[in-house]
């Protein structure tokens, strides 16, 4: 018998999930009513399970609320076949704001979709044999995996395993297909059926979101320690021996609430490759049964690990699987980030790593990235892979295609070599304003200018070519993983940010608070003396984050 934690006074989200376990709500009725431009608050929660966020343009709030929707595709491992990319490109032009946003979890987001186009874009995605189901909501989100098809055959094996786990953790709901694919409305008994219970998630699904990632040492390009569960591949040459299991990572927190905090995952043990689906499903059920349903701010799996400990968790996994976890195998991460430019694969074909500023694929006066990618994919049927750092890879490029692709990019203002400065290539930002309802400050729209000012300061101090990992978010939920960066900016209020320092190159260490509240225009002023000290006090080629952790953050005034 599986023990569960007793919970009585649950949150409103738990109440509505229990009353409507098919997740249908009144979505179909509202969708069919042209007189309304938005869904109810409760339906807004159900929509998340369908991969949709209801938002409004916050730039226009002083005039009137203009409701719109963000739609997120579920793309395991960030793999996008050429035919699917062309569908996404067309749908973004026809029904969204003509951009595609690469997420920090290797998905695509459509922004600016109005209600009249919502059904059309959702049907278009599903007609292309893709889905948005479980891209959001209290379920397992998009499964991450190493995107770079570099020199090891392990990459393709791990990608395949990530897809297996993604499928194993997919929720079952009639509502999604009936509303968005078949275009029909569930009757009332179907929507509230007491008989319907998801076979994995149960009647009320998980207490909060759940995140899964795969990584291959020494490259931690997925920030694996920030996930609810992580699978770290242990190989012998090109042969996969198994995975070290990690659990309990997560970065979201709330300002002023010390009960919430970022946390890196614990190393739990080692499992053979054939057991990953079984173990993943067991861990989901642990979160289902032991997660806090009375407080959504304390509902992530990381708090289950924090409250009960890793030994308890290991025992619970073994009890639910009948499997004795082996001791973790040695592994070491040395870096994170992406490869840029042309690189040769093991099969003698090539891939091209392309920098995408703040993850936004778009056309501007200076460069037309969206148009160039469409032309390349149409002509050469290149597979696309999205990276966790919000960049992209053109994969499976034949040697005879390289020059033509380089020319197309150059004709549209996009260089293949020296694509961006070292600081920009290591940066990330969340969308924040004006679309995200949680944003307290700017991120995507402010980071490029802030990086320009930081680059000017670094040039003054003879640090022009110094790589420093910089990430910015508009709120403390941590979508761009700022708490792992060497410098993290976290929105606290309009044009005000917390500054975090001290993450490391391998993305295995949390940074720490340096300044509680700094105006956007004062950030460079606050960083100037810090960089000046770094120049004088670093040891050899010591990185900025390591120096901050070793020296700056240990000083009494900072701790």
Catalytic residue among 48, 115, 141, 471: 141
pLDDT in tens, 384-400: 999 999 999 999 999 99
Catalytic residue among 136, 228, 479, 548: 479
CB atoms within 10 A of CB 93: 14
Residues 6+ apart with CB under 8 A from 499: 487, 488, 489, 513, 514, 515, 518, 523, 526, 527
Q: Using 50, 70 and 90 to split pLDDT, how confident is the model at 79?
A: very high
Rounded to whole angstroms, the Cα distance separating 15 from 138 reads 13
Which pLDDT belongs to residue 101? 98
Catalytic residue among 48, 72, 481, 512: 72
Q: Is the pLDDT of residue 185 over 90?
A: no
Q: Active site includes 123? A: no
Q: Active site includes 548? A: no
Catalytic residue among 48, 157, 360, 475: 475
Cα-based angle 457, 219, 395 (whole degrees, multiple of 5): 95
Half-sphere exposure of 512 (CA within 13 A, CB side): 14
Q: Active site includes 479? A: yes
Q: Active site includes 136? A: no
Average pLDDT value over all residues in the chain: 95
**Domain architecture of the chain: domains with CATH:** 1-8+143-172+195-337 (3.30.413.10), 341-423 (3.90.480.10), 429-554 (3.30.413.10)
Q: Active site includes 475? A: yes
Segments of 420-540 assigned E as strands: 427-429, 470-473, 487-493, 496-501, 512-519
Sign of CA dihedral 291, 297, 300, 303: negative
Which pLDDT belongs to residue 488? 98
pLDDT in tens, 85-139: 999 999 999 999 999 999 999 999 999 999 999 999 999 999 999 999 999 999 9
Catalytic residue among 209, 302, 360, 543: 209
Estimate the crossing angle of helix 369-380 against helix 82-95, to 10 degrees: 140
Rounded to whole angstroms, the Cα distance separating 470 from 485 reads 6
Q: Active site includes 272? A: no
CA dihedral 272, 273, 278, 284 (to 10 degrees): 100
Contact 276/161 with Cβ under 8 angstroms? yes
Q: Is the pLDDT of residue 1 over 90?
A: no
Which pLDDT belongs to residue 163? 97
Q: Using 50, 70 and 90 to split pLDDT, how confident is the model at 2?
A: low
Which pLDDT belongs to residue 151? 61
Structure tokens, 427: 């940066």
Q: Is the pLDDT of residue 558 over 90?
A: no
Contact 475/438 with Cβ under 8 angstroms? yes
Which pLDDT belongs to residue 264? 98
Q: Is the pLDDT of residue 152 over 80?
A: no
Share of the chain above pLDDT 70, in %: 96
Catalytic residue among 430, 471, 481, 509: 430
Cα radius of gyration (the chain):
23
pLDDT in tens, 455-464: 999 999 999 9
Reduce the DSSP state of residue 386 to 3 states and report it: strand
Q: Active site includes 74? A: no
Which pLDDT belongs to residue 3? 64
Which pLDDT belongs to residue 190? 58
Structure tokens, 133: 């189901």
pLDDT in tens, 201-252: 999 999 999 999 999 999 999 999 999 999 999 999 889 999 999 999 999 9
pTM of the model: 0.96
Q: What is the mean pLDDT of residues 435-449?
A: 97
Which pLDDT belongs to residue 7? 65
Q: Active site includes 209? A: yes
Which pLDDT belongs to residue 186? 58
Give the residue from 429, 387, 466 showing the smallest Cα distance to 149: 387
Catalytic residue among 136, 228, 436, 548: 436
pLDDT in tens, 491-547: 999 999 999 999 999 999 999 999 999 999 999 999 999 999 999 999 999 999 999
Q: Using 50, 70 and 90 to split pLDDT, how confident is the model at 559?
A: very low
């Amino acid at each position: 018998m599986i023990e569960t934690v007793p919970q009585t006074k649950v949150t409103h989200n738990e109440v509505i999930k229990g009353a409507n376990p098919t997740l249908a709500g009144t979505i179909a009725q509202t969708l069919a009513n042209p007189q309304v431009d938005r869904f109810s608050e409760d339906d807004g929660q159900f929509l998340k399970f369908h991969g949709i966020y209801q938002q409004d343009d916050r730039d226009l709030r002083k005039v009137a609320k203009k409701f719109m929707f963000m739609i997120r595709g579920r793309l395991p491992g960030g793999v996008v076949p050429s035919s699917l990319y062309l569908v996404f490109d067309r749908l973004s032009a026809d029904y969204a704001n003509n951009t595609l946003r690469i997420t920090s979890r290797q998905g695509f987001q459509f922004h600016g979709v109005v209600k009249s186009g919502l059904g059309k874009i959702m049907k278009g995605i599903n007609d292309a044999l893709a889905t948005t189901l479980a891209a959001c909501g209290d379920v397992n989100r998009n499964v991450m995996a190493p995107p770079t098809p570099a020199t090891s055959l392990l990459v393709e094996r791990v990608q395949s395993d990530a897809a297996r786990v993604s499928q194993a953790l997919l929720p079952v709901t009639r509502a999604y297909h009936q509303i968005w694919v078949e275009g029909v409305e569930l009757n009332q008994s179907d929507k509230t059926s007491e008989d319907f219970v998801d076979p994995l998630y149960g009647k009320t699904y998980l207490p909060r979101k759940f995140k899964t990632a795969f990584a291959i040492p020494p490259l931690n390009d997925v920030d694996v320690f920030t996930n609810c569960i992580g699978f770290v591949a242990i190989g012998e040459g090109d042969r996969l021996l198994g995975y070290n299991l990690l659990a309990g990572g997560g970065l979201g927190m709330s300002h002023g609430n010390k009960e919430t905090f970022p946390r890196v995952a614990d190393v739990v043990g080692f499992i053979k490759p054939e057991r990953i689906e079984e173990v993943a499903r067991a861990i989901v059920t642990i979160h289902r049964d032991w997660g806090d349903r009375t407080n959504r701010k304390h509902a992530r799996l990381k708090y289950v690990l924090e409250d009960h400990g890793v030994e308890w968790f290991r025992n619970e996994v073994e009890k639910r699987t009948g499997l004795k976890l082996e001791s973790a195998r040695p592994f070491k991460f040395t870096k994170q980030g992406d490869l840029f430019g042309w690189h040769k694969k093991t099969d003698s074909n090539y891939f091209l790593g392309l920098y995408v500023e703040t993850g936004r694929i778009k056309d501007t006066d200076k460069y037309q990235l969206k148009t160039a990618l469409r032309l390349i994919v149409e002509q050469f049927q290149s597979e696309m892979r999205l990276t966790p750092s919000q960049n992209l890879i053109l994969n499976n490029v034949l040697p005879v295609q390289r020059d033509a692709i380089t020319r197309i990019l150059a004709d549209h203002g996009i260089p293949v070599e020296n694509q961006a400065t070292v600081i920009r290539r290591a940066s990330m930002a969340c969308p924040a304003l004006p679309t995200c309802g949680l944003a307290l400050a700017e991120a995507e729209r402010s980071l490029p200018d802030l990086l320009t000012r930081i680059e000017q300061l670094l040039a003054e101090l003879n640090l022009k070519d110094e790589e420093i990992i910089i990430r910015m978010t508009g709120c403390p939920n941590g979508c761009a993983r700022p708490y792992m960066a060497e410098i993290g900016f976290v929105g606290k209020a309009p044009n005000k940010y917390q500054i975090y320092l001290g993450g490391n190159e391998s993305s295995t260490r949390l940074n720490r608070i340096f300044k509680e509240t700094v105006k956007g225009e004062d950030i460079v002023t606050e960083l100037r003396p810090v960089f000046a000290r770094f120049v004088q006090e670093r040891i050899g080629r010591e990185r900025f984050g390591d120096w901050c952790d070793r020296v700056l953050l240990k000083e009494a005034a900072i701790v």
